[in-house]
Amino acid sequence: MSEIKKEVTKPEEKKGICFYPDIEFNKRERKKTIVMAIILMFFLAGMGVTIILASLQNQADPMGWISGALMLVFFVFAVSLIPNAFKQFPIKNEPIIEVKQREVVINGEEYKYADVKEVRLTITVEPVGKKEENEKFLNSLLSKEPPAHITANLDFAVPDKGNKLKTVYTTIADAYEALVALYQAGYKHYSIVYSMKKMAKKATYDIGQTKTENGTTLASLSKKERLKQLF
């Protein structure tokens, strides 16, 4: 008799909770960055050529050559803004962050929660008036729950080569919901920062005080209960 082989099917891992880019926001920011880079490129290229031509006429002045070289360095920086804009502001409707039970996927790369050193949510706020008024307004936000369904930066400090850390920057829609999902999955090393012009203040709000649909705070739930609600 021929031997009957049984196929063992491995249970599929549950799909995580995905968070996506704000496409309209990214289109605006990408366009703004590219236009700024092109204007800067033309300005620096013109300045660099002018300085170098002047140096050719007056070869005794070494500062002219140094200034021209610096302009070219800044020109290269301006050129680099364009590919960075495409990378930082994606416009495809593909997940940027996927929150799973034991790990998080960021831009397609997977990290275990134990390896993620910190997650920082940065919420940019529009000015409301003068400096004193702006500072007072920022202070009024620090102890409050962040607004839902906002587009903001959610950045991750993760391991890099040689026992170093690197920051992975993301800009996503529903950024606060993504941070709450990470908390529900068991991740606790986070910070919330409000940014306005040249001011930035760290919030004191505790995500554990966030309430579920039935009015229960996340901190009062066990990890198993939080995971059950999340997934």
Residue type, 228: K
Q: How confident is the model at residue 79 (pLDDT cuts 50, 70, 90)?
A: confident
Q: What average pLDDT does range 86-113 have in this prediction?
A: 94
Residue 14 maps to a domain:
no
Q: Which of 168, 49, 40 is nearest to 104 (CA)?
A: 168
Residue 65 has a pLDDT of 66
Torsions phi, psi for 68 (to 5 deg) = -65, -40
26: buried, middle or exposed (CB in 10 Å: 19+, 13-18, 0-12)? Answer: buried
pLDDT above 50 for 160? yes
Residue 144: helix, strand or coil by DSSP? coil
Q: What average pLDDT does range 66-86 have in this prediction?
A: 80
Q: How confident is the model at residue 60 (pLDDT cuts 50, 70, 90)?
A: low
Question: In the listed set 57, 88, 119, which residue is the last one of a domain according to the structure?
Answer: 88
Query: How many structural domains comprise the chain?
Result: 2
For residue 25, the enclosing domain spans: 19-88
Average model confidence (pLDDT) across the chain: 87
Contact in structure between 115 and 178 (CB atoms under 8 Å): no
Residue 140 maps to a domain:
yes
The answer on 157 and 183 residing in a single domain is yes
The answer on 131 and 200 residing in a single domain is yes
The answer on 111 and 215 residing in a single domain is yes
Residue 56: helix, strand or coil by DSSP? helix
